[in-house]
Structure 1
Amino acid sequence: MARKRRGTPIHGWLNIDKDAGLSSAQVVGRVKRITNAQKVGHAGTLDPFATGILPVALGEATKTVGYIVDETKEYRFTVRWGQARNTDDIEGEVIDRSDIRPTEDEIKNLLPDFVGTVRQQPPAFSAIKIGGERAYKLARAGAELDMPERDVHIESLSLIEILDEDYAVLEVSCGKGTYIRALARDIALKLGTVAHLSALRRIRVGPFSEAGAISLDKLAKLWQCPAKFVDLLPLTTALDDIPALAVTESQALRLRHGNDVAAPNKSDGIVCAMDGTMPVGIAKIEAERLYPVRIFNL
């Protein structure tokens, strides 16, 4: 007999505005304690020093996390020129210095070089696995790491503000796997200096933006009356880019039991099967048949 899962069956998304000092796992733990949800997960890790958008999935919404992880993300970040740190952010130790400070024109003229497909070497202090071990664990142990380069995609990159000669604020829209710490480091090197991130804020992850985000403190306060809570987003929020496909009640039943059914249309691809307003699951159309991929137990 399967063990009954503890907690309340809650299905949907929370658009959490993460405070600095918390890891993404700690945010998930806080959400789980506040809501008593049976299952909680997050979409896209944020470094502890960073703030901003951390989409948190509850219940069956955790089955759609992969679709958010792959979404475009936007960040606002502050670069501190003249200091390189071993973590490429404010939490690390200073390992190099430079007296060179780039001008506003120099920064603006360089930024187009970092738009498009860019070759990037991730920071040594990252969660990437090297020989089966997390890179940050090896780096903390003093290991010399030669991090493998990889291609990342930068959609846009702009200078927002020059705070003073030491600090500049930029915004970037980028694809999966982009390290903003590495981006700031590489921009500085091309400008003939060194730098690190002094602040980082994620301002958008796919359909999740600052406009609808709530803090953990606000969540705790509002959740005191769950029946009136309006900030829980639908399970399908993560599937905005996936076409919805209406199925009949009998087709929905067959899909839920793992069976394929005749496809209502002939276009191959991934869809969200819908029984009226109820999402049945993620399915794949192939050769005029509809096959279940991930079924929602609602």
Structure 2
Amino acid sequence: MNGFVNVLKPVGATASDVVVCVRHALKEKSGHLGTLDPGASGVLPVAVGKATRLFDFLTDKVKYYRAFFTFGKTTDTLDSYGAVTGKGTVPAEEELIAACEKLTGAIWQTPPAYSALSVGGVKAYKLARSGVDVQLKQRKVTVFELKLLRRQCEDTFVFDVKCSAGTYIRSVARDIASLCGTVAYMSGLIRLQSGCFTIETAYTLDEVRSLGEKCLLDVTYPLSDVESCVLPDNLYDDLDFGRKIACPFEQGYRKIYCRGQLFGLAKNDNGILKLQYYLKNLQEN
């Protein structure tokens, strides 16, 4: 059994909790495609069986979020679960809109100290919890869209964020506030979409438990935007045994088919077709 389950993660559950649920329901090894904090809810795609081979290819996809930022107060974790470490004013909507414009595009972002990034082989959040002053390096991320939607209440505003993988939404809250001369924290987060997996088609954990393999999406589901390349029938054995084949395309990845069968995802490696992700027989669940 190979494929994907689009899970609607509830607030309070960890990404590992979701994986365990899918694994028990489908009786197959599973792994999530990019983590989601326990305090957040929304789309968490889970790869099942040998579909986990596509992990590296799929974790780099664009993410969409509905974020709730509370201004005039911040915490050590930059979310509602941490201890208050600072207070300030609540900015005007005009200031927030201007800050959003400055944070749109390719930007340098400092991840939160309370994150799963590794520092000397130790998770940053573990060091932060033990009292260590964690200083993480800035890294380049892309914010494709950062839009103020509405004012939720006196100090809380709702934003839509479309961003690259690796973007920390808690850091976005901090950086918007900083540009406005104040402080903030992320008080809520919903992931609306991860790659092609959307919240409208996601299954709750209870639905996963009751429906089991009926929740399973085909292994090619997240590859719909990848072009196909059909090779001549006489190259079947060359593909099967990993022999060198001249690559018929220049750039990017292609779904490689031969004799009606999907072999995997390939790219051009100095003129040679390189099967980067081997997917043969994975559609036979």
For normalisation by structure 2, the TM-score amounts to 0.92
Distance across 2 between alignment mates of 1:208 and 1:266: 28
> What amino acid does structure 2 have at the position aligned with 1:284?
K
Q: Which residue of 2 aligns with 1:134?
A: 123
Shift of 1:242: 2.5
Q: Which residue of 1 aligns with 2:198?
A: 209
Q: Which residue of 2 aligns with 1:33?
A: 24
Query: What is the DSSP-based 3-state SS (H/G/I as helix, E as strand, rest coil) of the residue aligned with 1:172?
Result: strand
Distance across 1 between alignment mates of 2:257 and 2:218: 13
**2:245 equivalent to 1:261:** yes
| 1:259 to 1:146, Cα distance in 2 relative to 1, 3 A | same
The answer to whether the Cα contact below 8 Å between 1:75 and 1:201 also exists between their aligned partners in 2 is: yes
Deviates most, 279-288 or 193-202 = 279-288
Q: Which of 87, 100, 118 is the aligned partner of 1:111? A: 100
Structure 2 unmatched runs, 5+: none
Query: What is the DSSP-based 3-state SS (H/G/I as helix, E as strand, rest coil) of the residue aligned with 1:136?
Result: helix
Distance across 1 between alignment mates of 2:225 and 2:160: 24
For normalisation by structure 1, the TM-score amounts to 0.89
Query: What is the DSSP-based 3-state SS (H/G/I as helix, E as strand, rest coil) of the residue aligned with 1:261?
Result: coil
Shift of 1:277: 5.1
The answer to whether the Cα contact below 8 Å between 1:259 and 1:291 also exists between their aligned partners in 2 is: no
Say what the alpha-carbon RMSD is for the aligned residues. 1.7
- Work out the number of aligned pairs and report it: 281
Distance across 2 between alignment mates of 1:268 and 1:105: 43
Distance across 1 between alignment mates of 2:260 and 2:185: 48
Shift of 1:163: 1.2
Structure 1 unmatched runs, 5+: 1-9
1:11-31 Cα offsets, whole Å, 9 max, x none, are 111111101111111211110
Mapping of residues 129-208 of structure 1, within 5 Å: 129-208=118-197
Mapping of residues 1-298 of structure 1, within 5 Å: 10-37=1-28, 39-98=29-88, 100-223=89-212, 226=213, 229=214, 231-263=215-247, 265-275=248-258, 278-286=261-269, 288-298=271-281
The answer to whether the Cα contact below 8 Å between 2:31 and 2:47 also exists between their aligned partners in 1 is: yes
Higher relative contact order (CA 8 A, sep 6+): 2
1:134-183 Cα offsets, whole Å, 9 max, x none, are 11111011101111111211001101110122111101000121100011
